[in-house]
A = this chain, B = another copy of it.
Amino acid sequence: MTKKPAQFYHAGCPVCMEAEQKVAHALDTNRFDLEIIHLGEQKNRIGEAESKGVKSVPALVLDGVPFHINYGAGIEDLKK
């Protein structure tokens, strides 16, 4: 079975870390290829996140659909 792509975008904030540890790592890795992206350290990927509909972090994009999990920071704040 082909795995579906999953991206977890975060910015290293406490809310982000908890979501990463609990939600992102709860995914079934037999069905999803999970990539973790720290937008604070990889600012060149902010545009990619925005193009997937990510408006705040932490956010989990499953098969192209964005889900905002709690609220750590707005994506505009990460551009500063």
Contacts and interface: CB of A to CB of B under 8 A. Distances in A.
Number of copies: 2
A62 B28 contact: no
A36 interface: no
- Measured as residues with beta carbon below 8 angstroms from the partner, the interface class of chain A is 20 to 34
Output the residue of A6, A18, A31, A69 with the most chain B CB within 10 A. Answer: A69
Contacts of A67: 19, 22-23, 69-70
Interface of A: 6, 18-19, 22-23, 26-32, 60, 62-63, 65, 67-70
- Top 7 nearest A-B pairs (CB, nearest first) are A28-B28, A22-B62, A67-B69, A26-B27, A68-B70, A23-B67, A22-B65
